[in-house]
Amino acid sequence: MGKQANMARAFKAVDGDFEARVRDSFARQTAMRLIGARMGRLEAGYCEIELPFRDDLAQQHGLFHGGFTSAIADTACGYAAYSLFGAQDSVLSVEYKINFVSPAAGDRLLAVAGVKKSGRTLTVCEFEVMAAKGEEQLLCACGLATLIRLADRPDRPQAD
């Protein structure tokens, strides 16, 4: 909880319309729709993605599959970084590292990602994933991601 507050730093977006741009991009991710992930709070340099539990999201023991823990964490990092980019840029994941620290058991996962360093080409984000059961939240994964800005390659293909 403290971490979430802590990650939302005083970044200033260069694109005043970043929220519409980010949410539009997320909405085009059919993968996130398939698993039922939703974008939550979004600020300049900060992004939350939530994943409610469903029986078809499980690993062999009936808990959230780690691949989806990673998927929402990676996506949250991408959009935390992308929120600080210009309207004509797009973003790609270069790499990330994730530690699974507790079983992903609960009624939903909450991935929170914050920009740690925003460079001209590369952005570094940190993330945490909480497994929530009602009001309780337990840290279930954490990590770091490196993202790259593709300058002047808009995320949404232009109509011609």
Tell me the closest approach of the beta carbon of residue 16 to its own copies, in angstroms: 21
Member of 1, 10, 61, 135 binding its own copies (CB under 8 A): 61
Min dist CB 74 to its own copies, Å, is 6
Helix axes 66-82, 18-27, angle to 10 degrees: 150
Residue from 52, 87, 93, 105 binding its own copies (CB under 8 A):
93
Asked if residue 20 binds its own copies (CB under 8 A), the reply is no
Closest CA to 114 of 150, 79, 67: 79
Should residue 23 be labelled a site residue for its own copies when binding is judged by CB under 8 A? no
**155 binds its own copies, rule: CB under 8 A:** yes
| Site residue total, its own copies (CB under 8 A) | 55
> Does 35 help bind its own copies (rule: CB under 8 A)?
yes
**Closest distance to its own copies from the beta carbon of 111 (Å):** 11
Among 17, 40, 41, 92, binds its own copies (CB under 8 A): 92
* CA separation for the pair 76, 114 (Å, rounded): 8
Instruction: State the residues that interact with its own copies by CB under 8 A.
Output: 2, 6, 25-26, 28-35, 55-61, 65-68, 70-72, 74-75, 90, 92-102, 116-117, 119, 121-122, 124, 126, 139, 142-144, 146, 148, 155-156
